[in-house]
Amino acid sequence: VTKISIIGAGSAVFSLNLVKDLCLTPGLWGSTLSLMDIDAERLDIIYRLAKRYIQELTIDLEVEQTTLLETTLRDADFVINTAYVKGHEYAQKIRDIASQHGYYYYRDYYSIPEPGPPALTNFEQLNVTLDIARQMETFCPDAYLLQASNPVFELTTLLTRSTEIKICGICHGHLHYRDIASTLDLDPAQVTAEAPGLNHCIWLTHFQYQGKNAYPLIDEWIETQAHEYWRTHVSANPFDIQMSPAAVHQYQLFGLFPIGDTVRSGGWWYHTDRPVKHHWFGNPWGGPDTEHSRPHHVHDLAQRRETIKHLLETDTKVTHTLGSHRSLEQHIPLIDAIVNDHTNIFQVNIPNQGVIPELPHDVAVEVPASVNKHGIQPQPIKVFPRKLMLEVLLPRWLAMEHLLETYLQGDRSMLLWNVLQYHHIASLEAAEILLDDWLRMPENMSARRHYT
Ligand code: NAD
């Protein structure tokens, strides 16, 4: 019996999609699904809905719930980690303190939608994820860890270096190539795309329509339609930025089209203030990382949790609300490929092993990989333009190394350097005061002890 464990199963983003995908994958029927979260109430809601969904479809799947890490890990074959330790409210407090200091920082850093030194704001996230992997070494040493929560790049690299666990980071951001296809009116079924790089920093190296290079179609769209699109397009949600001026500008600067969350960062010059953000990321949101759209997103997630909770209280069929089509998430298909030896290509974050020759072997790269019962084998990718390497990918690699080194050394001066680095703050003194204020937050008590 295959045991699949989901840690952070109370997440409104992931769990029910994973349950649905599992139910719709006959090769995994008979498995045990173990749901784990430290929040018993959230967990129980997901557990009961999962059970109902499974019963409605009369599928043979065992589901259990637990608040204990050891219980969920014991004899697991696959562990999907979606735990977000401090949660969205903490991130909002960090942002509020930043803005009290005139620090306008709504994302430069590629992985993390929070201001502040990522080694500080992700301190618990790093601790907890490392602990999960270490406990896996004891309770399920042969299991795969599918790392979904952020920062995927940093965590996948850290765990690769510090543990013996088989780790694979998974992100759905690469699917945004489909937004390009739909904007260009291309049938997505006839489009093939590849967008490798580092997580949240991935670039369209291959884009074909009906077997032919479709980059000229993007160029033509930019020349003839982009301005009208930008003038009239009203973003459906804050994340609808794949065809924004910022994306096109990054393409023009670096030579390849940025995909998914890559578009969100790109450089400080897209982020200096609200009007600038609106110019680059479009109306009405100015992208997902403004003082308006971040709280909107958090509110949206809270509403999603309320809707899920409400679902429990009604007689409406869960199948009716969740639907019975698989999501586009890769976790369950990837497990299916390994368990049932269905060779397939996935976009995963795994140790580089020479796929990007400019980067060390133990850095987690996001690349296409062939997956089957023998494991996860990276596929060769096209060479990146040298300027993209020098201006984006190598600096992004260094930022990851900086975060890990800051964390591993507990070096407070490296936190300070991080606050200063993007010139969002007026002076060294102001940066020192801001860092003190962040560290004084009760939520940062253990980080305060760690960073000396
Ligand atoms: P959320 O806060 O709604 O859910 C996270 C869950 O983790 C909560 O139920 C919480 O109780 C639980 N949790 C916290 N600490 C835990 C611990 N120590 N052990 C077990 N469970 C714990 O967050 P969310 O919006 O669902 O996002 C979850 C994570 O996924 C974030 O890191 C987010 O950035 C990331 N994310 C990744 C992708 C992707 O494609 N990889 C997409 C969206 C979000």
Least trusted range by pLDDT, from 94-103, 326-335, 377-386: 94-103
Tell me which residue of 301, 286, 171, 303 sits closest to 238, measured CA to CA: 286
Q: How many CB atoms lie within 10 A of CB 41?
A: 9
Nearest atom of ligand 1 to the alpha carbon of 172: 40
DSSP state of 359: S
Beta strands 344-351; 191-194: pairing state: unpaired
Give per-residue pLDDT as tens, 44-66: 999 999 999 999 999 999 999 99
Contact 153, 364 (CB under 8 A): yes
Tell me which residue of 235, 225, 287 sits closest to 258, measured CA to CA: 287
**Helix, strand, or coil (residue 273):** coil
Residues that are catalytic:
172, 261
What percent of the chain is modeled with pLDDT above 90? 79
Question: How long a stretch of residues is the chain?
Answer: 452
Give per-residue pLDDT as tens, 210-241: 999 999 999 999 999 999 999 999 988 999 99
* pLDDT of residue 112 exceeding 60: no
Mutate to test the pocket of ligand 1, among 82, 109, 131, 261 (most ligand atoms within 8 A of CB): 82
Gap from CA of 86 to ligand 1 centroid (Å): 9
Least trusted range by pLDDT, from 73-87, 102-116, 215-229, 423-437: 102-116
Q: Which residues line ligand 1 (CB under 6 A)?
A: 7-8, 10-14, 37-39, 42, 82-85, 87-88, 128, 148-150, 152, 170-172, 301
* pLDDT of residue 105 exceeding 70: no
Buried b (16+ CB within 10 A) or exposed e, 136-148: beebbeebbbbbb
Mutate to test the pocket of ligand 1, among 6, 13, 155 (most ligand atoms within 8 A of CB): 13
Averaged confidence pLDDT in the chain: 93
What is this structure's pTM? 0.96
Assign 388 a pLDDT band (cuts: 50, 70, 90): very high
What percent of the chain is modeled with pLDDT above 70? 98
Kindly state the average pLDDT of the residues 417-441. Answer: 89
Residue 324 confidence (pLDDT): 85
Gap from CA of 23 to ligand 1 centroid (Å): 22
**Helix, strand, or coil (residue 167):** strand
Prior bond of 196 cis (ω within 30°): no
Kindly state the average pLDDT of the residues 1-19. Answer: 93
Kindly state the average pLDDT of the residues 411-435. Answer: 90
CA distance 393 to 358: 10
Tell me which residue of 284, 173, 182 sits closest to 238, measured CA to CA: 284
Q: Can you say how many angstroms the Cα of residue 63 is from the centroid of all Cα atoms in its chain?
A: 26
